[in-house]
Amino acid sequence: MTVTTDQEHRARPAGGSGSRKLLDTVLKVRELAIGAVLVVMLLATQLDNSDFLSQQGIKDLLLNATILVLVAVGQAMVVITRNVDLSVGSTLGISAFAAGDYLSGGGNPLVAVVLAVLLGAALGAVNGLLVSLGRVPALVVTLGTLYIIRGLDSVWVGSRQITASQLPSGFAGFGHDGLSVIPYLALLTAAVLVCVAYYLRAYRGGRDLYALGSNPEAARLAGVPVRRRILTAYVVCGALAGLAGALYLARFGNVDSGTGTGYELTVVSAVVVGGVAFTGGSGTVYGAALGALLLTSINSVLPSIGVSSVWVQAIDGFLLLLAIAVDRVVALRVADLLRKRAAETRSARHA
């Protein structure tokens, strides 16, 4: 932990021209750090097993990450507002089945994807309304809707399942084909990622989400339409989970009533590892996407270097703990530094 912190110190420009710049650097460093870990890990694996980064290997890595990245991007928007959506796994499952059910009846693939997105958005709106209007803790409400959506899903789906043979071959092909090593799914995900990131950075609504997460009371007083913004975040999160459901169907070609069970924990882990703080108001969707890529890559790295899958869960957990601990230590150091700098400026002014 301390090693990283020292590096952060050295990384900052010696004569730092202001606190803003310093904070910016730290935030960027945070994403760069995950990126670096990811690259080092992939290269090390490549050295150990030269087949790892083959064309097929890279394609697999990207494909594995796409679904998690999509859901993590939506989740990041919600977490930035100091809320959380635990029902994404259930939403993903029910939208995937809805899309599959429609397709197996001979539907149009594009309409099926739109259907999944709309269903996801509707479920997201329910969560958003409960959280913003009812002003109840997001964790509890979405835990409740996690159960409810999963239950409705099982009642509706029963023992039916959608298998690859029921899907149009073009749709399944979309799930694993691509432009040379870049799968279509990854392109789609990248487009979504860039759009959401741009919205969060450049639009009033996006900035408001950060303001809300940093200090809800201050945001309200500053005229941020709190309810509407929270609702937006949940609707986007639900819609992305729905889209992820449609992609899940294309990728795995198999959906039943259990699809997506327990996915919420992976998503939350990815978001937090990616540097989006649970306390709201900080982090970027790029970070969340990198976090998702890192987690799914670990799951691919371990089997390909011959580590038993038994270790995966423990490693995921410790990684999450490490990520939040490092974040916290760095944040404390930075705050300390800023305070000292401010004190210096003040005394300089007095002198």
Kindly compute the dihedral angle of the four CA atoms of residues 321, 79, 127, 226, in this order, to the nearest 10 degrees: 150
Could you tell me the smallest distance in angstroms from the CB atom of residue 343 to other proteins?
A: 22
Q: Does 105 bind other proteins (CB under 8 A)?
A: no
C-alpha span between 301 and 351 (Å, rounded): 58
Task: Looking at residues 318 to 337 of the shown chain, list those that interact with other proteins (rule: CB under 8 A).
Answer: 318, 320-321, 324-325, 328-329, 332
Rule CB under 8 A: choose which of 155, 179, 202, 221 binds other proteins. 155
Q: Which ranges in the chain belong to alpha helices (H)?
A: 2-11, 19-48, 55-80, 88-104, 109-134, 138-157, 169-176, 184-202, 204-214, 216-221, 226-252, 263-273, 285-304, 312-350
| Site map (CB under 8 A) of other proteins, residues 33-72, x = contact | ----------------x-xx-xxxx--x---x--------
Which residue matches tokens 């992939």?
Answer: 42
Q: Does 170 bind other proteins (CB under 8 A)?
A: no
Among candidate residues 229, 285, 323, 312, the one with its CA nearest the CA of residue 71 = 285
Spell out the residues 6+ positions from residue 54 whose beta carbon is closer than 8 angstroms to its own.
none
Spell out the residues 6+ positions from residue 105 whose beta carbon is closer than 8 angstroms to its own.
none
Rule CB under 8 A: choose which of 4, 154, 214, 215 binds other proteins. 154
Specify the DSSP element, H or E, that contains 68.
helix 55-80
| Site map (CB under 8 A) of other proteins, residues 108-147, x = contact | ----------------------x---xxxx-xxx-xxxxx
Task: Looking at residues 190 to 249 of the shown chain, list those that interact with other proteins (rule: CB under 8 A).
Answer: none
From 11-19, 115-123, 201-209, 304-312, give the range in contact with other proteins by CB under 8 A.
304-312
Could you tell me the smallest distance in angstroms from the CB atom of residue 24 to other proteins?
A: 23
| Site map (CB under 8 A) of other proteins, residues 283-302, x = contact | -------------x--xx-x
Q: Of 82 and 229, which CB lies nearer to other proteins in the complex structure? A: 82
Rule CB under 8 A: choose which of 29, 205, 215, 252 binds other proteins. 252
Among candidate residues 283, 280, 287, the one with its CA nearest the CA of residue 79 = 280
Q: Does 172 bind other proteins (CB under 8 A)?
A: yes
C-alpha span between 321 and 218 (Å, rounded): 30
